[in-house]
Structure 1
């Protein structure tokens, strides 16, 4: 198990929204708030050591939710560029561990994150969400919410 207090949250909020067909899907209202704010509010009571958001200029106010903004100048290079930027920033700031979350996953819960942290059984553990068969950013709708290591 790793304590949230030792983890840097890296929220990925940069992208082209190509499948969505609009400039920034994170700003679109979903259940009475912008899509990209659901993860932010779901995690607000988790005592992460630091909160980083990698964005490409999204207009959402991450700063008032205690996030440090890391700007991705080249979101067209893919999600890996955002991961690299977030991890490098966390590494530069002395992170012991990171948790990478996607800003376009409105149904993720704090309970799911705590199960992931509980599954980390060593300093070099890699833990991922799973639909029970394959790793994925978050369990599919209706899945058991299992965690795989």
Structure 2
């Protein structure tokens, strides 16, 4: 292969990688460093599938305004995982629709005291669409 073609393949490879990152949102996996703190939120979360006929009961009854367990029964669901594969219930195995996850977390003090702190929530595996609601997550003036 000539030097000219090698250079073309290198340039094309970089272009394709850039396009793939742009299509995926462009965020690399973060690494802990002196200037970056990480907080993993994996573990057991409260979980509830919206099994109503229209799959909108959670929004209509505003399940996000109170602890999820107060709106009905919840399961402890490991995150990361695929809820479809965790239980033996056919209703969850074949479920398509809105599901609700809830987790309380204690944040590093610096995140809540420094109003100039940029906090980024990275969701590694939300399929199709996700809505994130935070209650008491940040101090006034913070943006997520």
Quickly name the TM-score band, shorter chain normalised.
under 0.3
| TM-score, normalization by structure 2 | 0.25
- Structure number having the greater strand percentage: 1
**TM-score computed with the length of structure 1 as normaliser:** 0.25
Q: Which has the higher contact order (CA 8 A, sep 6+)?
A: 1
Larger Rg: 2
